[in-house]
Amino acid sequence: MDVLQSSGLPRDHIAYADLIQLCIKRNAAAEGRRIHRHLSAAGGGGSPASLFLCNLLLGMYTKLGLSSEARQLFEEMRDRNVISFTTMIAAADGEFLALSLLVRMIRANVRPNMYTYSSVLQFCSDLRLLKTVHCPAVKAGLESDVFVRSSLVDGYFKCGDGDSGRAVFAEMPTTDMVVWNSLIGGLAQAGDAAASLALFGEMRRAGFGPSTATLTSLLRACTSVAMLETGRQVHGQAAKSSSDLILHNALLDMYCKCGELAEAETIFNTMVSRDVISWSTMIAGLAQNGRCRDALVVFEEMQLTGFKPNHITLVGVLFACSHARLVQQGRELFLTMEKTFGIRPAREHHGCMVDLLGRAGQLKEAMKFIMEMDCEPDTIIWKSLLAACRVHRDAGMAAAVAREILRLDPDDKGAYILLSNAYAGSNQWGDAEEVRRAMKERRVTKEPGCSWIEVGKKTHFFIAGDKSHPQSEVIERELERLIRRIGGEGYVPETAFVLQDVEREQKEELLKYHSEKLAIAFGLMNSIEGKPVRVMKNLRICGDCHTFAKMVSKAVGQRIIVRDPVRFHHFVGGECSCGDYW
Ligand code: ZN
Ligand code: ZN
């Protein structure tokens, strides 16, 4: 208010400005429109006479999400300045609009400022556009501005041109925390955790203290590809720096997602303070790593310490019940969660229940549960029932469920594959073939199984039957040696898991080179004494690879960990933590 008065604006402008701010704060669109109409009438029709008030109205419309009204006012305005253009650019709904506004602005001789450029840069999702905007920003002498810089660095990384991003960074006359963070975050998001970690070291040497935001984004990068060794190094840095809760939660999550529960538990037990996220992460981490009963103990502890679970915590607890086959306990929690914790079961909780019943082989109950749900079942819920049908060999129900899924999403690859698997599993080869034909007609292709493993600070990727790895021949020889070795101990490939109806030898050939087997063989070739072989996979592990991993863990006396999209398998001495139930 004082600022406005001293800016020499007329008194009634100030009153209107207050009213407009109030409309924004109260989300009052109708009142905002009334003020606009009133001002227009006072200005003799058309748009309000004052540019200052017009800009405020523009800001109000964009903040309230009324973009067509903002645009109409913008077009009617007699005069437009850098604020008018920048407001519109920041609220643009796509790169085309943002850029055409920038062009219009330059043509109208209105000079863009650093906010204009950093807003435009948010929209540049392809490299050509980004370079187009980069150029005038340099000409305007704004390139050295820290906002523009960090948007440029961000932009180049998002477009996949890390080299240009680094170049913009390197040319900087002065470095700034914001830009360091952009660059480190950019590298981390691009999956280059090692490079971002190296840069982080440089940042420290340049005299910048570690920011928890940077460390957290580094940890998230390590978590997403499960780069344990790199994550450990970040942990080393983090330990020295702070007891920040968000950072510690990220560390906890990283260790859980890498299957290193002992370390996760150490972090959890030594945390100075915990919030509901810490508890939920620990519970879900234990459950996904097959320590379901421990997860339930932590859940009890959480309640004893006076923490209230949220809806994510309960998803983890139900997951634990489901994977530990604690049907009764899970059902009770589900039925009482609203009364006890004030959390109404959402779709995810319903999904857990379907999974719980399905895993326990209570397929009819699971189906009945879905039919009686008060929310529409989605494809995820149907799919978990479909997987249960496959494990418990109920081809009839599987067909019905898959049809439901395909009704909701006719292009769902998973439904075709699961349906086809269900038929194949019960030797209905004709039906399986028909599903495959339908799949071909709709041009649905199966997502290839891909496994990856971190060896020597590098992540190595394997796809079934793919020979692109430089050592592929050696790896295949090692794999065959392993298969022969466990063959002597009774390993027989489980062909029912293969999709196609092919001759027995061919089936075995296909199974032999599943990506997780290649990754395990490669991991064993490069294993370090006392450290487990840790493999990640994009799809569920198949039954045959599961048996293979169990027998190999015993034969070579090595711990093998396989993470699939939902859970971990810890193979030790011929046994798996999942108890062969996944
Ligand atoms: Zn397999
Ligand atoms: Zn397992």
Q: What separation in Å is there between the alpha carbon of 545 and the centre of ligand 1?
A: 4
Which of the listed residues 417, 446, 475 is the one where a domain comes to its end? 446
pLDDT of residue 502: 41
477/147: higher pLDDT: 477
What pLDDT does 352 receive? Answer: 93
Q: What is the mean pLDDT of the chain?
A: 82
Q: How far is the CA of 286 from the centre of ligand 1 (A)?
A: 25
Phi and psi angles of residue 536, each rounded to the nearest 5 degrees, phi first: -110, 145
Q: 562 pLDDT band (50/70/90 cuts)?
A: very high
Q: Report how far ligand 2's centroid is from the alpha carbon of 55 (Å).
A: 61
The verdict on 415 and 455 lying in the same domain is: no
- Do 466 and 549 lie in a common domain? yes
Residues 442 and 454 in one domain: no
Instruction: Give the total number of structural domains in the chain.
Output: 2
What is the DSSP annotation of 410-421? TT-HHHHHHHHH
C-alpha to C-alpha distance for 450 and 366, rounded to whole angstroms: 31
Are 533 and 421 members of one domain?
no
Reported confidence tier of residue 269, pLDDT bands at 50, 70, 90: very high
- Calculate how far, in angstroms, residue 540's C-alpha sits from the geometric centre of ligand 2: 10
Same domain, 478 and 562: yes
- 246: its two tokens: 């968000």
Handedness of CA 173, 177, 179, 181 (dihedral sign): positive
Give 376 or 297, the one with higher predicted confidence.
297
For residue 457, how far is its CA from the centre of ligand 2 (angstroms)?
Answer: 26
Q: Ligand 2 center to residue 535 CA distance, Å? A: 13
pLDDT, tens digit, 9 for 90 and up, residues 184-202 = 777 776 666 667 777 777 7
Q: Tell me: the pLDDT tens digits for 237-252?
A: 766 556 678 888 888 8
Q: Are residues 433 and 477 in the same domain?
A: no
- DSSP 8-state assignment for residue 30: H
Q: Ligand 2 centre and the CA of 580: distance in Å?
A: 5
Element (H, E) at 454: strand 450-455
Same domain, 429 and 479: no
> Which residues does 404 contact at the CB level (< 8 Å), separation at least 6?
377, 382
The pLDDT-based confidence of 496 (bands split at 50, 70, 90) is low
Q: Report residue 330's pLDDT band, with 50, 70 and 90 as the boundaries.
A: very high
Residue 70 CA to residue 88 CA, distance in Å, equals 8
Q: Are residues 464 and 485 in the same domain?
A: yes
φ, ψ (nearest 5 deg) of residue 86:
-65, -40
CA 418 – ligand 1 centroid, Å: 15
Euclidean distance between CA atoms 374 and 345, whole angstroms? 10
Does 460 share its domain with 529?
yes
Structural domain that includes position 498: 450-576
Q: 522 and 433 in one domain?
A: no
> How many Å lie between the centroid of ligand 1 and the Cα of residue 518?
10
User: What is the average pLDDT across 93-112?
Assistant: 83
pLDDT at position 240, please?
Answer: 57
How far, in Å, is the centroid of ligand 2 from the Cα of 404?
A: 29
pLDDT score, position 59 = 92
Burial class (CB in 10 A: 0-12, 13-18, 19+), 209: exposed
**With pLDDT > 70 as the criterion, what percentage of the chain qualifies?**
85
Domain of residue 425, CATH code: 1.25.40
Residue 360 lies in a domain: yes
- Is 475 among the domain residues? yes
Domain boundary among 446, 461, 493: 446
Predicted local distance difference test score (pLDDT) of residue 3:
42
Average pLDDT on 565-572 reads: 86
Q: Is 244 helix (H, G, I), strand (E, B) or coil?
A: coil
pLDDT category at 148 given cuts 50, 70, 90 is confident
Segment 435-464, tens digit of pLDDT: 878 877 877 665 667 888 888 767 788 877
CB atoms within 10 A of CB 445: 10
Ligand nearest to the CA of 520: 1
Instruction: From 515, 516, 532, select the one nearest 570 (Cα to Cα).
Output: 532
Query: Residue 210 falls within a domain, yes or no?
Result: no
Question: For residue 199, is it within any domain?
Answer: no
Domain membership of residue 439 (yes or no) is yes
Tens of pLDDT, residue by residue over 340-381, are 999 999 999 999 999 999 989 999 999 999 999 888 898 889
Mark which of 429, 446, 463 sits at the end of a domain.
446
Is residue 483 domain-resident?
Answer: yes
pLDDT in tens, 527-544: 887 788 999 887 778 788
Q: How far is the CA of 256 from the centre of ligand 1 (A)?
A: 24
Domain membership of residue 393 (yes or no) is: yes
The ligand with the least distance to the CA atom of 519 is 1
- The ligand placed nearest to the CA atom of residue 568 is 2
pLDDT, residue 191, reads 66
Q: How confident is the model at residue 510 (pLDDT cuts 50, 70, 90)?
A: low
Q: Are residues 510 and 480 in the same domain?
A: yes
> What pLDDT, on the 0 to 100 scale, is given for residue 119?
82
Cα 361 to the center of its chain, rounded Å: 31
Instruction: Point out the ligand nearest to the CA of residue 517.
Output: 1
d(CA 228, ligand 2 centre) in Å: 21
* Spacing, Cα 543 to ligand 1 middle (Å): 7
Residue 311 lies in a domain: no
Same domain, 466 and 493: yes
Give the residue with greater pLDDT, 235 vs 7: 235
